């Protein structure tokens, strides 16, 4: 059975991960959350005091520590979805905090961080049968992916989604702070020198500002079926 590589890129908090996880489960593909990988690096940097008081990163120290940062994903038997692990510790909840969100974009913009993460991502996805979401999957990690989707939504909608998600998890949240963070991340992600966020020339655009999860999943499945890919409704996670 033919297995392809599916790249889902787009802005922060626009539902890429939810979409990619659901699609991978239905196809029986491996799912890799690349955004979680950069969040893991950010959490590591925060835990090891690699930020100065003004938010500047101690880049030399972080670069020297990169070989010590090991990221993996393991299936959560309760949720049926993969959790992110940093050096063997489950950090799925910690990496979703606003503190990590406020620091992840400058970490992700560092060339040596991106080089290390892209190498891990390409290793995870070699051979096809993978759904991967992030900022540069269709442009850098897998430029020859058979299906590329670029997802977006208005900043206000994305901030509200993030706010609701944090509240559901019982975590502190302030809508105005989250909206500010969304706008700042959009700017940094789109203007960084290395692998800036952009829509690949051959990527399909999906604006899900006014779509339900079910509607966007149906849209995506139609695109997959157009390629002649079978839907298995089974899971296969890494």
Let me know how many helices (H) and strands (E) the chain has, helices first.
8, 8
Q: What is the residue whose two structure tokens read 């096809």?
A: 128
Alpha-carbon span 6 to 148, nearest angstrom = 6
Alpha-carbon span 132 to 149, nearest angstrom = 11
Strand partners, 57: 51
Q: Are 68 and 88 in contact (CB under 8 A)?
A: no
pTM for the predicted model, two decimal places: 0.75
pLDDT value for 230 = 67
Q: Among 52, 48, 51, which Cα is nearest to 65's? A: 48
pLDDT in tens, the chain (238 residues): 678 999 999 998 898 888 998 898 888 888 888 889 999 999 999 999 999 989 899 999 999 999 999 998 887 888 777 889 999 999 999 999 989 999 998 999 899 999 999 998 998 888 888 999 988 899 999 999 999 999 999 999 999 999 998 899 888 899 999 999 999 989 988 988 878 899 999 999 999 999 999 999 999 999 998 988 866 544 443 3
Alpha-carbon span 153 to 159, nearest angstrom = 10
| Backbone φ and ψ of 183, nearest 5° | -65, -40
């Amino acid at each position: 059975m033919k297995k392809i590589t599916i790249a889902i890129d787009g802005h922060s908090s626009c539902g890429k991960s939810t979409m990619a996880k659901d699609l991978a489960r239905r196809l029986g593909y491996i799912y890799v959350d690349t955004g979680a990988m950069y969040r893991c690096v950010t959490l590591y940097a925060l835990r090891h005091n690699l930020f100065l008081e003004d938010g500047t990163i101690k880049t030399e120290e972080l670069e020297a520590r990169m070989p010590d940062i090991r990221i993996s994903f393991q299936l959560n038997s309760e949720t049926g979805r993969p959790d992110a692990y940093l050096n063997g510790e489950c950090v799925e909840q910690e990496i979703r905090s606003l503190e990590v969100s406020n620091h992840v974009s400058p970490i992700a913009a560092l060339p040596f961080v991106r080089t290390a993460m892209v190498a891990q991502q390409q290793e995870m996805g070699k051979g096809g049968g993978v759904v991967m979401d992030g900022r540069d999957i269709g442009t850098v990690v897998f430029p020859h992916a058979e299906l590329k989707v670029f997802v977006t939504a208005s900043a206000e909608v994305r901030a509200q989604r993030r706010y609701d998600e944090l509240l559901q998890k019982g975590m502190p949240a302030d809508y105005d702070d989250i909206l500010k963070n969304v706008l700042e991340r959009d700017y940094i992600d789109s203007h960084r020198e290395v692998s800036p966020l952009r829509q690949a020339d051959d990527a399909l655009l999906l604006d899900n500002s006014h779509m339900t999860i079910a509607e966007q999943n149906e849209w995506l499945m139609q695109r997959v079926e157009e390629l002649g890919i079978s839907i298995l409704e089974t899971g296969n996670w890494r």
